[in-house]
Structure 1
């Protein structure tokens, strides 16, 4: 195999490796939204183990509501859905009673 062909193959291999790294997971600490899509369909509160509200900020321009089911599935909820607003209101009321 000629030296030019070897160099060309090496460059193509490096280019492919760089492209794979760019498409991989973001580096730790990168600021970005955690919810690319959010659902509005009603999910029974009995199925939910945890609901997390992530306020808007430099990481994301919109607030995010991230629910974890009792089975461990993570679901992004639409914060403007009426049923999600109701759940958040109840959580906030219960947390102010505890303090």
Structure 2
């Protein structure tokens, strides 16, 4: 192999190692979760602009819910908080999109 081929292969391997999405994770760490801390206190619905739900996956062990406030702040909320459960139930009840069973 010549020098250019060797360097190219090493760069490609390095790129794959750095940007690999399937890299194994330590079981004790969720290094790719979006939320470090979650908020349990109720956020008034009139201050909520958008709700994002990220289901658990191999990168993060638990479901994450992020609320975007009307002032464009992202707030991670606690999935088990009663007000969050009620908010999600109300959204599903009022949704025009039906779940596929």
**Deviation at 1:89?**
1.2
Q: How many matched pairs?
A: 73
TM-score (norm 2): 0.63
1:3 matched to which residue of 2?
none
Q: In structure 2, how many angstroms separate the alpha carbons of the residues matched to 1:47 and 1:63? A: 22
Largest Rg, 1 or 2: 1
**Deviation at 1:66?**
0.2
**Deviation at 1:65?**
0.6
1:22 matched to which residue of 2?
none
More helix by proportion, 1 or 2? 1
Q: In structure 2, how many angstroms separate the alpha carbons of the residues matched to 1:56 and 1:88? A: 17
Superposed CA RMSD in Å reads: 2.3
In structure 2, do the counterparts of structure 1 residues 29 and 72 end up closer, same or farther at CA, with 3 Å as the change threshold? farther
Structure 2: state its 5+ residue gaps. Answer: 1-17, 23-30
Q: In structure 2, how many angstroms separate the alpha carbons of the residues matched to 1:67 and 1:29? A: 25
Q: In structure 2, how many angstroms separate the alpha carbons of the residues matched to 1:28 and 1:75? A: 28
